[in-house]
Amino acid sequence: MTSQMAQQRFSTEQAASDIEAAIEAVERAMLGVVNSRVTVLREASQHILEAGGKRIRPRLLMLSYLALGGTDYDYAAPAAAAVELMHTASVVHDDINDHGVLRRGRPSINAKWGRTFALLTGDFLFTSVYQLMAPYGALNQILADAATALVEGETLQAEAVKNNDFTRSKYAEIIALKTAALFQAAGDLGARLANATKQQIEAMQSAAYNIGLAFQIVDDILDIVGDEATLGKTAGIDIEQGRGFVSAQTNGHQTTHEHKGDVFESVKAKLMKGDYLEEARAQARALIEMAIEQIKTLPESGARLALIELANQVVDRDF
Amino acid sequence: MTSQMAQQRFSTEQAASDIEAAIEAVERAMLGVVNSRVTVLREASQHILEAGGKRIRPRLLMLSYLALGGTDYDYAAPAAAAVELMHTASVVHDDINDHGVLRRGRPSINAKWGRTFALLTGDFLFTSVYQLMAPYGALNQILADAATALVEGETLQAEAVKNNDFTRSKYAEIIALKTAALFQAAGDLGARLANATKQQIEAMQSAAYNIGLAFQIVDDILDIVGDEATLGKTAGIDIEQGRGFVSAQTNGHQTTHEHKGDVFESVKAKLMKGDYLEEARAQARALIEMAIEQIKTLPESGARLALIELANQVVDRDF
């Protein structure tokens, strides 16, 4: 083994252990802030947090931070925790509106505690985001913008479903708002917390934004081809609700509750044969390639390598 | 008219016009931030904001600001708007959980746009709070704490209703969290924005906290003795749900939907004869007297006079 190779291996191992330590700091920050005096808020929040989830948004933030020279996990972790809790809050409210009963392999909060407490737990997770971000001063604007975009995207989606108006361009607008904006905020916050240059911040914003778009497209594909046990959440909701990538391709084909099983199976069969899914996968892959190019403008490091790996995993996953 | 009296009258008139200008700045800030690109969020938010409401929380903030020497309305108004929108968000979600159909004399968002959009509009109002506060740096912690307390209080209330465990001490804990904390934040923020002294800030925190407790007690009384047309919201919800001041006095007597009318009328008749309501009014009055003592430690001014008037109105209102 050459000394350069040893150096390389050492730094990769070091980076991996740094990244794991960083993610553990995020978990601590999340569990810390939801430790409410109110039993049901504490237990319902722990229920969904302990179920895991991919943690892709906080990982993106921490990797962006580490890749741009940040070293103090405990400084960046609460911001990463805030980004993940913002996502979690929206998921909890989403499960109320969609009647989702399974989430991260567990009963949804809605299913286990009922609608009233699910609504309040979602609200509590929102206020926890605010708690975590309060010490970050001017950086609050970044997450405020992403939070607004997220709710706007969810609402546009609900409107499109209601009006049976789910076009391709509407789909693009929705996933930009409901998913890519929060990913972008994660990349952005990580870079700014590391005192990155303007150019580096912009590179991470763009990369994270593109990863977010790809992530949502793949999520929508998996909603069709994945099975519930692997996904850990109620599958087929998108088709049932007439939304998501596929509905956009088929121009808002909407089904009813009564015939869910039949219609779902037939739409699915049709799509699995068609080119829709392949086209969507190709789009996601193209977005990831762009993201990787942007990431490659950052200085070489173990964290940069991990960012590229994260980007690739977004399209290569089956859950 | 002596010159001192003329001076006094002038300053009172000036104060009144300052206060009105300040409140108008708050209205502008609220309507500005909810001007979303998403139609339903914009229209539903405008619907509830244009219905008015007492605006007591933002008025408290602006009066605290003016009474402590603040002069720049446009600087303080977004914070006051944030406090009012935090309250509004919670009201919108509350109407989902309570099936309230009337709010501020109009159909609730829930009744007019349905549950899904009411939930999302509430979320959007939360993110609007965050938007408005983001520029205030360290002051974000104050509203974050109040927002968390508010959600915790609402949840404790829902828990108490569910477990039929609505005691007097539980009631005190709930109103402190769900109402007094946000009032306190309003007084606190107004004072800090005016660069008040530590002693002045503490006086306004306490005064606003006590006004908040009194406000909630009076609200709960009005829920029983008021009529819907004057209140502008669905009355009797508290008794129906087995919560509020009166339920606390009668140890969580809980009724069912089926017999709402009968039980409501009989509980109401019983209470109107008893001493419960008089006792509650006396409590509220005592809290307001304490608040007024605290306000009187501030320098004399038209705004201070208006603060005392606001405190008195809290117990003297019939809506």
Q: What is the pLDDT of residue A168?
A: 83
Name beta bridge partners: B107.
B102
Q: What is the pLDDT of residue B118?
A: 97
Q: What is the pLDDT of residue B277?
A: 83
ipTM of the prediction greater than 0.85, yes or no: yes
* pLDDT above 90: residue B226: no
Cβ–Cβ gap A130/B123 under 8 Å: no
- Chain B residues touching residue A137 (CB < 8 angstroms): 137-138
* A9 or A169, which is more confident: A169
Residue B297, token pair as written in the block: 């430690």
Q: What is the pLDDT of residue B162?
A: 86
Q: Which domains does chain A have, with CATH numbers?
A: 3-316 (1.10.600.10)
Tell me what percent of the residues of chain A surpass a pLDDT of 90. 64
How many Å lie between the alpha carbon of A201 and the closest alpha carbon of chain B? 20
pLDDT in tens, B250-295: 554 443 444 444 555 555 566 566 677 888 899 999 999 999 999 9
Q: Judge whether A124 is closer than 8 Å to chain B, CB to CB.
A: yes
Rounded distance between C-alpha atoms, residue A140 and residue A136, angstroms = 6
Which of A241-255, B4-18, B236-250, B271-285 has the lowest average pLDDT?
Answer: A241-255
* B230 or A253, which is more confident: B230
Strands (E), chain A: 102-103, 106-107
Rounded distance between C-alpha atoms, residue A178 and residue A151, angstroms = 7
pLDDT band, very low/low/confident/very high, at A167 (cuts 50, 70, 90): confident
Q: What is the pLDDT of residue A255?
A: 39
* B293 or A316, which is more confident: B293
* B7 or A145, which is more confident: A145
pLDDT in tens, B30-89: 999 999 999 999 999 999 999 888 899 999 999 999 999 999 999 999 999 999 999 999
Cβ–Cβ gap B127/A144 under 8 Å: yes
* A257 or B275, which is more confident: B275
pLDDT in tens, A102-142: 877 888 899 999 999 999 999 999 999 999 999 999 999 99
Name beta bridge partners: A107.
A102
In the numeric block, the tokens 């303007």 are attached to A198
Rounded distance between C-alpha atoms, residue B65 and residue B187, angstroms = 8
Cβ–Cβ gap B126/A123 under 8 Å: yes
- Chain B residues touching residue A130 (CB < 8 angstroms): 130, 140, 143-144, 147-148
Q: What is the pLDDT of residue A252?
A: 46
pLDDT, average across residues B167-173: 89
pLDDT, average across residues A245-267: 50
Q: What is the pLDDT of residue B98?
A: 83
Q: Shortest CB distance from A97 goes to which of B39, B116, B127?
A: B116
- Measured on CA atoms in the order A111, A116, A120, A123, is the torsion positive or negative? positive
Q: What is the pLDDT of residue B273?
A: 64
Q: Shortest CB distance from A120 goes to which of B38, B131, B151?
A: B151
Rounded distance between C-alpha atoms, residue B182 and residue B150, angstroms = 7
Q: What is the pLDDT of residue B255?
A: 39
CA dihedral B65, B68, B69, B74 (to 10 degrees): -10
Tell me what percent of the residues of chain B surpass a pLDDT of 90. 64
How many Å lie between the alpha carbon of B316 and the closest alpha carbon of chain A? 32
Q: What is the pLDDT of residue B272?
A: 60
In the numeric block, the tokens 């789909």 are attached to A171
Tell me what percent of the residues of chain B surpass a pLDDT of 70. 80
pTM score: 0.88
How many Å lie between the alpha carbon of B147 and the closest alpha carbon of chain A? 6
How many Å lie between the alpha carbon of B297 and the closest alpha carbon of chain A? 31
pLDDT, average across residues A243-272: 53
Residue A172, token pair as written in the block: 């693009």
pLDDT band, very low/low/confident/very high, at A51 (cuts 50, 70, 90): confident
- Chain B residues touching residue A155 (CB < 8 angstroms): 38, 40-41, 117, 120, 124
- Chain B residues touching residue A148 (CB < 8 angstroms): 36, 124, 127-128, 130-131
Residues contacting residue A268 through CB under 8 Å, at least 6 positions apart: A224, A225, A236, A239
pLDDT, average across residues A178-183: 98
In the numeric block, the tokens 């530590």 are attached to B198
Q: Shortest CB distance from A120 goes to which of B116, B138, B154?
A: B154
Which of A243-252, B170-179, B241-250, B259-268 has the lowest average pLDDT?
Answer: B259-268
Measure the CA angle with vertex B90, ends B99 and B225; round to 5°.
60
For chain A, give the mean pLDDT: 86
